Structure 1
Amino acid sequence: MVNLLKRPVSRWALLLLLAAFACSAWVLKLQWHWPWATLFAAPDTLPLDALMVQNNTLPRMAMALLAGGSLALATMLLQQIMRNPLASDSTLAVSSGAQTALVAATVFAPALTAYGNAPVAFGGSAAALAMVLWLSARRELVPLMVVLAGLVTSLYLGAVTGIVTLFYSEETRGIMLWGSGSLLQDSWHDSTALLWRILAAVAVLALLVKPLAMMSLSDDQAAALGIPVKTIRLAALAVAAFLSANVVGMVGMMGFIGLAAATAVRQLGVRTLWARLSAAFVFGALMLLLTDNLLILLNHYRQIDLPAGAVTGLIGAPLLLWLMMRTPARSAIQTASAQTVARLQASPLLRMLPLLLLLAVALALFCGQGADGWQFAFHADLLALRYPRLLTAAACGIMLAVTGVLLQRLTQNPMASPELLGISSGTAFGVMTAVLVFDIPAGSSGFWLAGIASALAALWLIMLFNRKSGLQPEKVLLTGIAVAALADAFIRVWSAGGDLRIQQLLVWLSGSTYQAAPLLSGSMLALALILLLATLPLSRWLGLLSLNATVAQSAGVHVAAARITLIMFSALLTALATLLIGPLSFVGLLAPHLANMLGARLPKQQLFYAALIGATVMTLADWLGRQIGFPYEIPAGLMATLLGGGYFLLMMRRM
């Protein structure tokens, strides 16, 4: 026992266990007023209050343990399969599929929910997973393709859900609250059912652990040893999706808990795969139980009722940040970026991108719907209304696309995008603080100052927690994810509070250019172009760092200085784009990959063409969002996900 406790992971697990046990005991002491020997007595011998504890509180605690452990186990399994430390239980679009299915059923086919939310949610999860596997099947389920297909499908479904929610806000309010993740139980039925499903998944997983461990280095080496790589990967994906889908179907989306637990275990240096999977389950279970118990106590003493899924970052993020600062980087998992999807020869479409941008500009300025239907007009008043939105959309597209290229090249990770740096969420947190705490109007100078200050604070936190590691890319991204999760938790808490001032921020949060002003939009486009030109001389750094730090250093690059410069550029671009159009940065993930797929392989080429793609997609998205539902609008941020995501998925299937 003494030797076991010398391991960091054991000490942290014991600390979490003691904290979770103490909170559980506190909750039970507040609710149970009878002899403890009767805690599990026959229901017909207990009063009503005791029945509530027996069939509500205890099953809720059990569900917290099982749901948290399942998500952490699924996340660790996905990280092993994908060889990517950023993979999580949401990578396969399981959660997004469940929520989209529930929203669609609630609005368009409410009869489907007659037997509860779980069957509909599970069906949506299964359909989303089938879509991901279908998109990546032609490339033999290569990890990179599965990761990208899952990410884009998840974002695409999220945009669909967002649009339906905008137009049917009253009908979907209950589902959105459920989607925030609630562990409320009225019997032992769901927790018992989840337990048996977890045991079945673990039995299958026991057969897969050895081949999965052998696949951790490369598919070629595993195949040479006689391992059926595709079959094993498909089976492991199915197990991870099965675990995630069951949790989402029963209790909704639990957010950050899976990634936090899996990352904490890896940071603590657990080596063997089976030990990592076991430790991840324990960490996830205890972290979610601790979070939910604290929420029960908060509701008891302050009458503030919050869903567990919305605030998991309040427990997971501080723990992850603490571990990031105290422990060295121990990445036993390779990123999936080693397998490129770039064309050997440039696509003709690459050279047509400037023409496509000009066409998008012409449509945005001169073509639109009015009282008399479609018209192509050169009216000065219309142009005065349209061109600020055009400039804003183009500026945001350029800044987000350039940020995506910088981060993906710097970190050698195809999942890297602006929101993973934590700046977007940090900016949104500062803006919401200004509006809700200090009553500063949205769009005012104070609004901008608060956003810039919070973006700088988020950047300072990232630098602080990574100063000893030399800004290693994986640790920077994981720190950014933790900062983002912490900020998102506060944003969700405020949003759940029902404050009417939240309505001031809905347009901004959904990624709309509605409030674009001529002077500001023109200045931001000019700044975006200047920053794009400023990043082009950094292409040599990007090219060398995208290989690895050792190669870059041997070629004369000061790696630490290069990383600081690139991260600063990324943070500045992300903060400006977020303040302009809100914390929606899908273009930052999409544009670099599209440029790469079309043949822009060199860093300078990828920066230039990704910027063109970003500007084109955002311009078209803003124009289409104004026309499709005329006279109503679909925000440009959501429309960009639908427009660019659909094309991206089509390209993936054709490759």
Structure 2
Amino acid sequence: MSRSLILITLALVIAVAGHLQTGSKLALMHQLSLIGGHPFETVYDYAFYYGSLPRTAMAILIGAALGISGSLLQQLTGNRLLSPMTLGTASGAWLTLLITTLCWPVFAASHPDLAALAGAGIASSLVFLIAGRSGLSGLPVVLAGMAVNLLLGALASALVLLNDQYAQPLFVWSSGDLAQNDWHQVLWLLPRLLPIVPILIIAPRALTLLRIGEGNASARGLSLLPVFFLLLTASLWLSAISVASVGLLGFIGLLAPNLARIAGARTALGELLGSLWLGPLLLLATDAVAQLSSSQAGYFVPSGAASALIGAPVLIWLLKQKRQGEITAPAPRVLRPPASAPRVTAIAMTALLLALLFGALIDRDTDGWQLQFPSEVIWQLRWPGLIAVIAAGSGLAVAGTILQRLIRNPLASPEILGISAGASLAIVLTMLLGIQGAGMLTPLAAFSGALIVLGLLLFFGLRSGFAPSQLALVGICLAALVEALLQFVLAQGGDDTFKLLAWLQGSTQGVDEHTALWLASGVALCLIPALLSQRALTLLSLGATVASARGLGVQRARMALLVLASLICALVTAGIGPLAFVGLLAPHLASLLGARSIRLQLIVAALIGSAILLLAAGLGRTLLVPNLMPVGTLSAIIGGGYFIYLLSRRRLVTA
């Protein structure tokens, strides 16, 4: 590893020089003379000393912080896929910073690190409660982190929509930006990075003992719980101050420790040192790409988007190097004894009817809430949206049920595939090209984007034999990649930014009669093969070995079910926009009611999914009158909040 550290150090020196050259027109020797104290002569000298040089220093410091943060998380849990991004800590830090900026701007300006740390702590606590201690080393904690990310992202988007006057800087902030105009932020950050020094001194012994097992570590005098929380707090602190300084930067904390191990790090100290060096190297390289792209293309390219665009393909390559047995996904646990089909169906139908009445008949004005039949004009505007959300809710619920059985994990959902993110990206690209709103172009573009992501999933799925855990992780990578591209477009601002943002939250405002009917027809056609696939789903939920022994073509069945779930998700996204948590929550609620057989769970989940979106549509129309909240935002907040409460309560009860 010492030889590798020397090579990494040389690469880091070259990266620093290249980064300085990228951000300034001055020759390298002239830059060095300015650093050495040479007097300023031109405006370029000032721009270098107060712009390019602090940006390079910030990239080094933030890269080191994220590298150490990711290494601590991965070594504490033994999970090579954990990082501030996948654990949800970065999203939590950003949300609390956003809240304090809007509500207590003075506190946010003076103590952004404390606000970010609070959010990081809340997010990580939720993830640990969902995944449980036994799930930290496998896929459950990654899926739980993505669920928390979706919920926090929905909350943040709702705040942005309600405070549009602050939107442009918030978009840049959420995308990650290393640009500096003086040394103030660097000097603010430096003393807050001091915990790195005791980490490098104290942490290696504790992490080394953890590698030999908890029992052996305890026998050698290591107090596991205090050490775990101390090092976890240090990791959260480094992640929080990074978000407070430059916003969200994905993949650096995930890739640096993995690349350190590839470079030959075999000890805890070696991995920490390798991450300390590789984090700045990665961030300098990605930020240089961002600066070059901004200057050449004429668009503002956020540093966070560039890091994700580079990091996601590298992570997919790393996943290909893993054996399928290294990442496991447990089968869903039984929550309640099976119930009779008529009783469960009647309960779900009642919930759907009540939600339909609420979505169709409840209004609110200056006199308060009112139950009334809408006028003919209002009904002509309202019924297409109601049909659309019924179809979308049932479709996503069925897709979620298929995926949870297919991947054998209760936290799986359509969002894991990244299909809706691909459809969203296609819409964003049509906006960027200036051809949005051309009749059927929007749904066609969304469907094309979804199919492209599906093709990538099938390609990687074929190479891994459609292993459930590998498929889910590739979907997460693709979703993160597409999300980076979306953040790039949103960071440009413009007149259509808020219209686009509302669509990205799932909006029925643009749904007309034609869109509602073709969406309902398409989802109904997809439900037929879903109901006919109960035998395959039942066998696959028992495991590939059992399914193969019973004569099922495992790979062919997985591929067909994956295509079916993806097509449903693509249809919904093309019609309404991306919707989160419906496909995650509805199968759980169906299981809670006692629906155990595949056919019954599909039917009950479809009814519940429609009820959830109808409730969200009614609340979005009436909750903040005269403001309208997108149905996807409300469904994510309602469904995500209840789902996290449900899993956290179950974890606490059964622990």
**Corresponding residue SS for 1:312:** helix
**Alpha-carbon distance in structure 2 between the residues aligned to 1:204 and 1:311:** 34
Q: Is residue 330 of structure 1 aligned with residue 323 of structure 2? A: yes
Call closer, same or farther: CA 1:159–1:438 in 2, change over 3 Å: closer
Look up the equivalent residue of 1:343 and give its one-letter code. L
The question of whether the paired residues in 1 share the 8 Å contact of 2:92 and 2:122 is answered with yes
Of all paired residues, the percent bearing the same amino acid is 34
Q: Is residue 474 of structure 1 aligned with residue 469 of structure 2? A: yes
**Alpha-carbon distance in structure 2 between the residues aligned to 1:125 and 1:180:** 17
Call closer, same or farther: CA 1:596–1:175 in 2, change over 3 Å: same
Q: Deviation string for 1:49-83 (max 9, x for gaps)?
A: 55654554344324323423443554455456666
Match of 1:421 in 2: 417
Q: Deviation string for 1:199-235 (max 9, x for gaps)?
A: 33444532442354345xxx89999999876556545
The question of whether the paired residues in 1 share the 8 Å contact of 2:324 and 2:467 is answered with no
The question of whether the paired residues in 2 share the 8 Å contact of 1:364 and 1:623 is answered with yes
| Mapping of residues 436-447 of structure 1, within 5 Å | 436-437=432-433, 439-441=435-437, 444-447=439-442
Match of 2:511 in 1: 516
Match of 1:196 in 2: 194
Q: Is residue 400 of structure 1 aligned with residue 400 of structure 2? A: no
**Alpha-carbon distance in structure 2 between the residues aligned to 1:260 and 1:140:** 24
| Mapping of residues 368-387 of structure 1, within 5 Å | 368-370=363-365, 373-379=368-374, 381=376, 382-387=378-383
Q: 1:507 aligns with which of 502, 514, 530?
A: 502
Match of 1:205 in 2: 203
**Alpha-carbon distance in structure 2 between the residues aligned to 1:627 and 1:609:** 27
**Alpha-carbon distance in structure 1 between the residues aligned to 2:175 and 2:16:** 25
Structure 1 residues not aligned, in runs of 5+: none
Match of 2:582 in 1: 587
Q: Deviation string for 1:630-652 (max 9, x for gaps)?
A: 23211110101221223223323
Match of 1:343 in 2: 335
**Corresponding residue SS for 1:467:** helix
The question of whether the paired residues in 2 share the 8 Å contact of 1:103 and 1:172 is answered with no
Shift of 1:460: 1.8
Call closer, same or farther: CA 1:421–1:267 in 2, change over 3 Å: farther
**Corresponding residue SS for 2:357:** helix
**Alpha-carbon distance in structure 2 between the residues aligned to 1:362 and 1:64:** 54
Q: Is residue 432 of structure 1 aligned with residue 428 of structure 2? A: yes
The question of whether the paired residues in 1 share the 8 Å contact of 2:24 and 2:52 is answered with no
| Mapping of residues 165-176 of structure 1, within 5 Å | 165-176=160-171
Q: Deviation string for 1:362-394 (max 9, x for gaps)?
A: 211222225764332334624433332222112
Look up the equivalent residue of 2:565 and give its one-letter code. S
Shift of 1:503: 4.6
Call closer, same or farther: CA 1:238–1:593 in 2, change over 3 Å: farther
Q: Is residue 534 of structure 1 aligned with residue 529 of structure 2? A: yes
**Alpha-carbon distance in structure 1 between the residues aligned to 2:331 and 2:629:** 36
| Mapping of residues 12-23 of structure 1, within 5 Å | 20=15, 23=18
Shift of 1:238: 2.9
Call closer, same or farther: CA 1:190–1:49 in 2, change over 3 Å: farther
**Alpha-carbon distance in structure 2 between the residues aligned to 1:595 and 1:281:** 47
Call closer, same or farther: CA 1:532–1:228 in 2, change over 3 Å: farther
**Alpha-carbon distance in structure 1 between the residues aligned to 2:265 and 2:344:** 45
Call closer, same or farther: CA 1:475–1:519 in 2, change over 3 Å: same
**Corresponding residue SS for 2:369:** strand
Shift of 1:594: 4.1
**Alpha-carbon distance in structure 1 between the residues aligned to 2:506 and 2:3:** 50
Taking structure 1 as the reference length, the TM-score comes to 0.84
**Corresponding residue SS for 1:30:** coil
Q: Is residue 626 of structure 1 aligned with residue 621 of structure 2? A: yes
**Alpha-carbon distance in structure 2 between the residues aligned to 1:590 and 1:73:** 35
Call closer, same or farther: CA 1:481–1:530 in 2, change over 3 Å: same
Call closer, same or farther: CA 1:572–1:258 in 2, change over 3 Å: farther
The question of whether the paired residues in 2 share the 8 Å contact of 1:92 and 1:241 is answered with no
**Alpha-carbon distance in structure 2 between the residues aligned to 1:239 and 1:512:** 40
**Alpha-carbon distance in structure 2 between the residues aligned to 1:392 and 1:162:** 22
Shift of 1:299: 4.3
Structure 2 residues not aligned, in runs of 5+: 651-655
Call closer, same or farther: CA 1:280–1:396 in 2, change over 3 Å: farther
The question of whether the paired residues in 1 share the 8 Å contact of 2:362 and 2:369 is answered with yes
The question of whether the paired residues in 2 share the 8 Å contact of 1:81 and 1:233 is answered with yes
Q: 1:554 aligns with which of 529, 538, 549?
A: 549
**Alpha-carbon distance in structure 1 between the residues aligned to 2:76 and 2:396:** 29
Match of 1:612 in 2: 607
Q: Is residue 120 of structure 1 aligned with residue 115 of structure 2? A: yes
Give the alignment's Cα RMSD to 1 decimal. 4.0
Shift of 1:306: 2.9
**Alpha-carbon distance in structure 2 between the residues aligned to 1:462 and 1:146:** 21
Call closer, same or farther: CA 1:566–1:496 in 2, change over 3 Å: same
Match of 1:164 in 2: 159
**Alpha-carbon distance in structure 1 between the residues aligned to 2:444 and 2:418:** 18
Look up the equivalent residue of 1:403 and give its one-letter code. A
Q: Deviation string for 1:427-479 (max 9, x for gaps)?
A: 1121222233151316x212122222222222222333443332333333333
**Alpha-carbon distance in structure 2 between the residues aligned to 1:459 and 1:149:** 23
Q: Deviation string for 1:286-332 (max 9, x for gaps)?
A: 222111112233445555443211332222234345556xx543357
Match of 1:358 in 2: 353
**Corresponding residue SS for 1:374:** strand
**Corresponding residue SS for 1:174:** helix
The question of whether the paired residues in 1 share the 8 Å contact of 2:97 and 2:244 is answered with no
Q: Deviation string for 1:535-577 (max 9, x for gaps)?
A: 2333443344345433433332222212211221122112111
Shift of 1:254: 0.8
Q: Is residue 490 of structure 1 aligned with residue 485 of structure 2? A: yes
- When structure 1 is superposed on structure 2, of 473-482 and 513-522 the one drifting more is 473-482
**Corresponding residue SS for 1:369:** strand
Match of 2:405 in 1: 409
Shift of 1:521: 1.8
Call closer, same or farther: CA 1:168–1:242 in 2, change over 3 Å: same
**Alpha-carbon distance in structure 1 between the residues aligned to 2:42 and 2:220:** 63
Match of 1:648 in 2: 643
The question of whether the paired residues in 2 share the 8 Å contact of 1:366 and 1:378 is answered with yes
Taking structure 2 as the reference length, the TM-score comes to 0.84
Match of 2:653 in 1: none
**Alpha-carbon distance in structure 2 between the residues aligned to 1:64 and 1:332:** 36
Q: 1:391 aligns with which of 387, 394, 411?
A: 387
The question of whether the paired residues in 2 share the 8 Å contact of 1:425 and 1:484 is answered with yes
The question of whether the paired residues in 2 share the 8 Å contact of 1:626 and 1:633 is answered with yes
**Alpha-carbon distance in structure 1 between the residues aligned to 2:220 and 2:333:** 26
Shift of 1:485: 3.2
The question of whether the paired residues in 2 share the 8 Å contact of 1:587 and 1:641 is answered with yes
**Corresponding residue SS for 2:335:** coil
Q: Deviation string for 1:169-228 (max 9, x for gaps)?
A: 11343233223212234324245335423333444532442354345xxx8999999987
The question of whether the paired residues in 1 share the 8 Å contact of 2:161 and 2:498 is answered with no
Shift of 1:168: 1.1
**Alpha-carbon distance in structure 2 between the residues aligned to 1:398 and 1:86:** 32
Match of 2:290 in 1: 295
Look up the equivalent residue of 2:239 and give its one-letter code. S
Look up the equivalent residue of 2:322 and give its one-letter code. A
Match of 2:305 in 1: 310
Look up the equivalent residue of 1:96 and give its one-letter code. S
